[in-house]
Structure 1
Amino acid sequence: MKLSKRSAYISIVIILTIAVDQISKIIVRKHINPNEVISVIGKYFSLHNVENTGAFLGMGSDLNPTLRIVLLLILPIAVLGFVLRYVLKDKTLDNWSIFAFSSIIGGGIANVFDRIAYGSVTDFFYIKLTDLLRTGIFNMADLSVTTGMIILVIVSFRKKKNIK
């Protein structure tokens, strides 16, 4: 079976996203002690080593084990499968949308892998500009998913603007 340029592009983005995420987590697990805080840019940007047993910002970490498996493993795997099928089948998607969806898929797979392999997801980036302008602790997979979503929103607004 010959892989089309489009399918190769999708595969490369997904694989690179997973690789960057997993390599960064290996480095963090090896060099940053659990709950240690390393200042990178003053009080504005720091590195941590936190194991998140839930989803976004730890939500769902206190769910019963069966519900956690359904909501944090089975459902995400199903959704990622549907999104991958959509990206591979819809030939009308522009390159930015393909990149965005592929980044979302790669980030999702990377975090699901962690939940299966380790029982939790390693988070390590923290940004705090002010007491109100700050993030939760996140990782490269989260960054890929968020970046993909932002790109999709921008592409969507551009399409609507061009229709008018």
Structure 2
Amino acid sequence: MSSHSNGHQMPDGKPMKSAISWIWLSVLMIVLDLGSKALVRLYLGENDAVTVIPGFFDLRLLYNYGAAFSFLADHSGWQRWLFAIIAIAVVIGMIVWMMRMPRNRYWQAISAALVVGGALGNLYDRVLAGRVTDFLSFHWQNTYYYPAFNIADSAIVVGMLMLIWDSLRRKKPAVSDPAA
């Protein structure tokens, strides 16, 4: 039996490539996220808005010092490092999982790559600036505003929804009854 880092083999005995080859998608998400944040910071002042769809969608520069929905944003700063540690743990876990996953597990590989890219995009902001740049602002008229988010947040949410969908659609193996 030939040795390979992920231990998976093709029927012909050759080692199967791992899903880590999908890491290019993570890199693409990081580039799109950081590039879009830089453009927004370049052209908009804090809380300035550019209306894209009147009464529904604006580009608005906002800074989030907390996590999703500004969770813990009003604390003294310790949350910055807590969220950074959580992001690093998630990224390491996802990368190890991708390295062990066969490359042909496309759905799981893509979802993991999206989560890694999104987590690293926001981690960059959080560690270097102490805050995450958000700019996608959806609202109903000028009354109800959904919390602003960014490309990294979108990648994380889409990746996690894909993982949930994948886990729900998989057939569970039948459990045999030992008494039968």
Shorter chain as normaliser: what TM range?
0.7 to 0.9
Deviation at 1:15, TM superposition (A): 0.3
Gap change, CA 1:89 and 1:131, over 3 Å in 2? farther
Aligned Cα root-mean-square deviation (Å): 2.4
Deviation at 1:94, TM superposition (A): 1.8
Match of 1:121 among 119, 132, 135: 132
Deviation at 1:88, TM superposition (A): 1.4
Q: Which amino acid aligns with 2:20?
A: S
1:43 aligned to 2:59?
A: no
Q: Which amino acid aligns with 2:85?
A: I
Number of residue pairs aligned between Structure 1 and Structure 2: 158
Q: Secondary structure at the match of 2:149?
A: coil
Deviation at 1:69, TM superposition (A): 3.9
Whole-angstrom distance in 1 between the partners of 2:77 and 2:140? 36
Alignment partner, residue 90 of structure 1: 101
Identity %: 27
On the 8 A contact 2:137/2:149 being kept in 1, the answer is yes
Whole-angstrom distance in 1 between the partners of 2:151 and 2:18? 26
Question: C-alpha deviations, 1:108-161, integer Å up to 9, x for none?
Answer: 01101101111111000011247898521000000000111111122222213x
Greater share of helix: 1
Gaps in structure 1 of 5+ consecutive residues: none
1:78 aligned to 2:89?
A: yes
1:61 aligned to 2:73?
A: yes
- Output the TM-score relative to the length of structure 2: 0.78
Gaps in structure 2 of 5+ consecutive residues: 1-16, 175-180
Deviation at 1:5, TM superposition (A): 7.0
Whole-angstrom distance in 2 between the partners of 1:15 and 1:99? 12
- Output the TM-score relative to the length of structure 1: 0.85
Greater shift in the superposed pair: 88-97 or 50-59: 88-97
Deviation at 1:51, TM superposition (A): 1.1
On the 8 A contact 1:52/1:58 being kept in 2, the answer is yes
Alignment partner, residue 7 of structure 1: 20
Q: Secondary structure at the match of 1:123?
A: strand
Greater shift in the superposed pair: 138-147 or 92-101: 92-101
Q: Which amino acid aligns with 1:35?
A: N
Q: Which amino acid aligns with 2:119?
A: G
Q: Secondary structure at the match of 1:19?
A: helix
On the 8 A contact 1:7/1:88 being kept in 2, the answer is yes
Match of 2:154 among 129, 143, 146: 143
Whole-angstrom distance in 2 between the partners of 1:131 and 1:63? 28
Larger radius of gyration: 2
